[in-house]
Amino acid sequence: MTSGIMIKGKWTTNRNLVDSSGKFIEIPTTFRSWVSADGQSGFKAEPGRYHLYVALACPWAHRTLIMRELKGLNDIISLSIVDPIMSDRGWKFSSNTGAIPDSINHAQYLQEIYLKAEPNYTGRITVPVLWDKHTQTIVNNESSEIMRMFDVEFAHLATQKIDLYPRELQQKIDETIEIIYQINKGVYRAGFATSQAAYEEAVRELFEHLDRWETILSKQRYLCGEQLTEADICLFVTLYRFDSVYYSLFKYNLRRILDYENLWNYLKDLYQIQRFRVTCNMEHTKRGYYTSMTEINPNQIVPLGPIIDFDEPHDRIALLQLLIKKVSISPP
């Protein structure tokens, strides 16, 4: 099975993932409409109107799923989860464990949803997808934007009154998400690199980023300070997959997240929030990556390990207490 792409409505598996220098090619996402609270954009945030398509293996889709949970939007936005194993026609629906078939469009493959929205579609068939049941189209397939819409535009419909994009931190959150993006997409650069130079450059750069956040997280509980924000969701999804997938499949093996004191405890801290935990599925994640990336894992063998206990106690509250103590004893 190799990754395919849609060209003018026709599916082809002849897709080049790297450029002439061996670097991974990114193809921009295409559906970028906006759901707004007031409906001015043409897409009003309303209960029952939108459907989210995700893969549990996918870190980009995972962001949107976490936000849907954190905001308590499960009854407002319906959900389909694709099968973890990618088919020769891309993501497919099934009723295997952990998957949820397409109850809205009754599609067998995700590509049918793209063609329904745009019969001449050219581009990748990716998750996540936000589908509008009223206008029968894809509103948006860019995870950072879907996440933001759930947070801000659906806030009045949310059953959990948590704000992950508070006004006073907005600039900092946007900047942090941009920086974290170098980690989110960075992991794919080494994975698909076909030259030693491209691989080494990608690995070195990624670990520089991780080392930097390790230091920052020794002084504060979350990426933007003492408050959980959208930026934390963005880093969480990559950290969660790192030791089980990126370390071995993509050869990011200078260090594990387990070897970083602060990143590891930070990861456990977030995982142990019930609304994060329920969105995590390591079985789908490992099967998804190891079986779909046949360019780099042709025999599709899924490793048994590593065994990671994300429920092991974390030390982030102790860190907080230490910081409070430091502030209170420091001279005015």
- Annotation says 246 is catalytic: no
* Identified catalytic residue from 53, 109, 114, 188: 188
* Least distance (Å) between residue 127 CB and ligand GSH: 4
Closest CA to 202 of 251, 264, 263: 251
Asked if residue 125 belongs to a known ligand binding site, the reply is yes
**Closer residue to ligand GSH, CB minimum distance, 178 or 261:** 178
Cβ burial, residue 273 (10 Å; 0-12/13-18/19+): middle
248 is in an annotated binding site: no
Judge whether 188 counts as a catalytic residue: yes
CB distance 51 to 133 below 8 Å: yes
The verdict on whether residue 143 carries a ligand-binding annotation is yes
Residue among 58 and 180 whose Cβ is closer to ligand GSH: 58
Instruction: Please state the closest distance from residue 64 (CB atom) to ligand GSH, in A.
Output: 8
Known binder of ligand: residue 255? no
Angle, helices 59-70/230-241, rounded to nearest 10 degrees = 130
127 is in an annotated binding site: yes
Closer residue to ligand GSH in complex, CB, 67/319: 67
Minimum distance between the CB of residue 125 and ligand GSH, rounded to whole angstroms? Answer: 5
Nearest approach, Cβ of residue 233 and ligand GSH (Å): 12
Is 15 or 116 the residue whose CB approaches ligand GSH more closely? 15
User: Hey, how many other C-beta atoms are within 10 angstroms of the C-beta on 33?
Assistant: 17
182 close to 191: Cβ distance less than 8 angstroms: no
Residues that bind ligand GSH (CB under 6 A): 3, 29, 55, 58, 60, 90, 124-128, 141-143
Q: Which of 50, 53, 58, 247 is catalytic?
A: 58
Residues comprising the binding site?
91, 124-127, 142-143
Active site residues: 58, 188
Q: Binding-site residues for glutathione, please?
A: 91, 124-127, 142-143
